């Protein structure tokens, strides 16, 4: 039986509400960092700071064997103005609309329990408090500075709150293999020749070329890709050259296209990159234009280790029953920079459903999203049990 010196649910909720009022974005989270440091000091947990970002790692346990498991929480917020009516709402123009305040609070709760039960650990638990998940790739930044070394980490567990209306509050969801998609971006510049709109024959119309390019991009998905292999290509912005006062009688010299690519299989990224440029090159050459092309590889796809998924499922079913965890039939097309950790070591990433029954459900990243605080203790306990069982079995 694990020891608790205080009501852990109350502690997690307090931490979450404190953090919710100081949301910060990117890799530099000074107020959040100081809050976490203060809590770890009060628990007597040794921690390490990082030079390249405001990340933090802590260690609990002894080197009784060489096993080490990491528990990871992301800490950054979003540049969203909050529109909830909670007493602890943010007022600084940022918002924890993705629930990272809850992730940090649940890991602090897990740290408190694990420290109080340190004598039960047959190995070490590395706590990873990470900035820059939304912007900046904080996982890779911390890895480059050695967060998975000294001591070397054998496996990792990471969780995320989710708003899933067709599951019960507190249900856990995960998936074997591809759980989250990669996230890449592209920029295309279609260069033509401007002219008066009444004489299009004197132009090399970049808008007409852009229309052909967009139609052919959709053909990658419908005619070239296996329908069993999820890929999303989204055009998110189209902007043509225009004078300071937009005019209706000008065919512009160029059009810029911005977009994103999501793939559940990392091998698909090179295929999409290659085909995008081939299409742009072919269309512009055929129509007498030119082009610029940039493809930026972002977060890789997140692949759960099948054995770790089975392991976590067993823990959930033993504690909360058969229906406490659901294995998803397909991955999500959202991305997550925890994928960098999962490329190096086996891990399991899962979602904790935090909808509030009886209230309107808003998705994550919405300025009105609210989380069910009653289920935070469950997320905390799963981190604790996952760590203890991994080290002791």
What does the DSSP assignment read for 68-99?
A: EEEEEEE---BS-------TT---SS-B-TTS
Q: Would you list the domain boundaries of the chain?
A: 8-179+301-392, 182-296
pLDDT, residue 163, reads 94
| Long-range pairs, 376-379, Cβ under 8 A, ≥24 | 376/9, 376/12, 376/13, 376/16, 376/102, 376/105, 376/106, 376/109, 377/8, 377/9, 377/12, 377/109, 378/170, 378/320, 378/352, 379/102, 379/106, 379/159, 379/161, 379/352
pTM of structure: 0.93
Alpha-carbon span 42 to 44, nearest angstrom:
6
Question: DSSP state, 118?
Answer: G
Active site residue 349: no
pLDDT, residue 81, reads 98
Q: Which is the catalytic residue, given 241, 256, 277, 373?
A: 373
pLDDT, residue 66, reads 86
Active site residue 373: yes
Q: Which is the catalytic residue, given 299, 311, 340, 341?
A: 299
Alpha-carbon span 49 to 30, nearest angstrom:
12
Is 53 marked within a binding site? no
Contacts of 256 (CB under 8 A, 6+ apart): 187, 188, 189, 190, 237, 238, 239, 240
Which residues share a beta bridge with 49? Answer: 56
Is 365 marked within a binding site? yes
pLDDT, residue 3, reads 64
- What's CA 298's distance to the chain center, in Å? 11
Return the C-alpha torsion angle 35, 41, 47, 49, nearest 10: 40
Scan for tokens 């979450």, then name that residue.
Answer: 16
pLDDT, residue 247, reads 85
pLDDT, residue 4, reads 67
Domain 182-296 has CATH 3.30.70.360: yes
Q: How far is CA 306 from CA 40, 309, 328, in A?
A: 32, 5, 13
pLDDT, residue 11, reads 97
pLDDT, residue 65, reads 80
Is 263 marked within a binding site? no
What are the residue ranges in the chain where pLDDT is below 50? none
pLDDT, residue 9, reads 96
Is 265 marked within a binding site? no
Q: Which CATH superfamily is domain 8-179+301-392 in?
A: Zn peptidases (3.40.630.10)
Is 98 marked within a binding site? yes
């Amino acid at each position: 039986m694990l020891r608790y010196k205080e009501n852990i649910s109350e502690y997690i909720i307090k931490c979450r509400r404190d953090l919710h009022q100081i949301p910060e974005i990117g890799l530099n989270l000074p107020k959040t960092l100081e809050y976490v440091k203060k809590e770890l000091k009060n628990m007597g947990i040794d921690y390490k700071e990082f030079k390249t970002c405001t990340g933090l790692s802590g260690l609990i346990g002894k080197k009784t064997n060489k096993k080490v498991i990491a528990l990871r929480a992301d800490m950054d917020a979003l540049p969203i103005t909050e529109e909830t009516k909670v007493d602890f709402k943010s007022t600084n123009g940022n918002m924890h609309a993705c629930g990272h305040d809850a992730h940090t609070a649940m890991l602090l709760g897990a740290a408190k329990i694990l420290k109080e039960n340190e004598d039960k650990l047959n190995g070490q638990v590395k706590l990873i408090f990470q900035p820059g998940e939304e912007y900046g790739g904080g996982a890779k930044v911390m890895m480059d500075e050695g967060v998975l070394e000294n001591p070397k980490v054998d496996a990792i567990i990471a969780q995320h709150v989710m708003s899933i209306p067709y599951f019960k509050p507190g249900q856990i969801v995960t998936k074997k293999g591809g759980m989250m998609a990669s996230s890449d971006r592209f920029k295309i510049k279609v260069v033509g020749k401007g002219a008066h709109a009444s004489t299009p024959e004197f132009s090399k119309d970049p808008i007409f070329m852009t229309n052909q390019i967009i139609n052919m991009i959709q053909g990658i998905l419908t005619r070239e890709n296996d329908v069993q292999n999820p890929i999303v290509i989204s055009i998110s912005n189209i902007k043509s050259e225009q004078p300071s006062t937009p005019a209706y009688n000008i065919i512009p010299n160029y059009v810029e296209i911005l977009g994103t690519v999501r793939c559940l299989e990392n091998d698909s990224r090179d295929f999409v990159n290659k085909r995008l440029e081939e299409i742009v090159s072919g269309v512009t050459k055929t129509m007498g234009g030119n082009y610029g092309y940039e493809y930026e590889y972002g977060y890789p796809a997140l692949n759960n280790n099948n054995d770790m998924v089975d392991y976590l499922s067993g823990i959930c079913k033993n504690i909360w029953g058969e229906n406490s965890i659901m294995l998803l039939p397909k991955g999500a097309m959202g991305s997550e920079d925890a994928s960098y950790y999962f490329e190096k070591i086996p891990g399991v990433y899962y979602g904790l459903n935090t909808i509030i029954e009886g209230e309107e459900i808003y998705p994550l990243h919405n300025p009105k999203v609210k989380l069910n605080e009653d289920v935070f203790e469950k997320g905390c306990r799963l981190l604790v049990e996952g760590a203890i069982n991994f080290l002791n079995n």
